[in-house]
Amino acid sequence: MASTAAVRVEGVSKRYGDRLAVDAVSLEIHRGEFFGLLGPNGAGKSTLVEIMEGLRRADSGAVALLGRSPWPRDTTLLPRIGVQTQSSAFFVRQTAHEHLRTVAALYGASRAAVDATLESVGLTGQRGVRVEDLSGGQRQRLAIASALVHDPELIFLDEPTAALDPQARRALWEVLRGLKAAGRTIVYTTHHLDEAEELCDRIAILVDGRIAVTDSPHHLVSASRAPSRLLLPAGRLDEATAAGIAGVERVSVQGGSLVLETHAVGPVLTAVDRLAGLDGVQTRTAGLEDVYLDLTAEATTHDATTTEP
């Protein structure tokens, strides 16, 4: 039976001493999907990804990667997957180009692929620079290039944009969109909610080792209960008057603006217009970051009440 799953995780758990880092997680990532794994620090994302990659052994549960078990180590899987971790290893005495050529040789990738991949991550200008002399962000780009150079079907990127400047981050998005368009499957962990919203077909939010939700960013945002915010220039309206407007749930002062939170944007805008005018008023609707903050706060509270003895 041909499986459409690039990754299937069933009831996977992993404990480090007293700490249950991954708690009975099940999920399926489809072929060709751009899948985001989000969650607070220590939620278990890296542990779960390392188990998927076959770099770490689960205590229990099962993983299928392209239909095969990644543990014990299955060398036939290696050319088919690309892995960038938070602690990627480098040949530090080699130049960026030599390093990538060495990695490419391990997988039988061509010299042309080395040049093209170096170009795609914006390191052509640094091809002759020793790895140990690259900046943090340049090293990170080389780690990404090392995961991509053999054109794998399934790509794991663990916080790939963490050290990148805004231009490099946007450039990487374009590279990843190209890979997605070419049918590659991408498993992506990030703390940048904007990039998860921009890039991912679906995301899973992990909290304390468990999946709190799996859905498309669009569905999550449209089903969100997070309020919209109206920003008024400071001094336009006093806080007490703003708090008295029907539909306003919370009022605060942030960065020189009076912020009104509401689920009834239309009526509140009408009231603000009547009281103070709409000149300079900005409306911010809920985004993935609001959904994430809402969900992680909720799930943490829920977790604390259900798992403590």
Ligand X SMILES: Nc1ncnc2c1ncn2[C@@H]1O[C@H](COP(=O)(O)OP(=O)(O)OP(=O)(O)O)[C@@H](O)[C@H]1O
Smallest distance, ligand X to C-beta of residue 23, A = 11
For ligand X, the closer CB: 16 or 93: 16
For ligand X, the closer CB: 84 or 117: 84
24 φψ region: left (φ > 0), alpha (ψ -120 to 50), beta (else): left
For ligand X, the closer CB: 43 or 196: 43
Question: Long-range contacts made by residues 67-71, C-beta under 8 angstroms, separation at least 24?
Answer: 67/3, 67/5
Smallest distance, ligand X to C-beta of residue 15, A = 9
How far apart (Å, rounded) are the C-alpha atoms in residues 212 and 197?
17
How far apart (Å, rounded) are the C-alpha atoms in residues 218 and 235?
36
Smallest distance, ligand X to C-beta of residue 27, A = 15
Where on the chain is the footprint of ligand X (CB under 6 A)?
16, 19, 21, 39, 41-47
Q: Kindly report whether the peptide bond that precedes residue 70 is cis, defined as omega within 30 degrees of 0.
A: no
Smallest distance, ligand X to C-beta of residue 113, A = 30
**b or e along 17-38 (b: 16 or more beta carbons within 10 Å of the residue's beta carbon)?**
eeebbbbebebbbebbbbbbbb
Smallest distance, ligand X to C-beta of residue 305, A = 20
For ligand X, the closer CB: 42 or 244: 42
- Please say whether the dihedral angle defined by the alpha carbons of residues 221, 223, 229 and 230, taken in this order, is positive or negative: positive
For ligand X, the closer CB: 43 or 164: 43
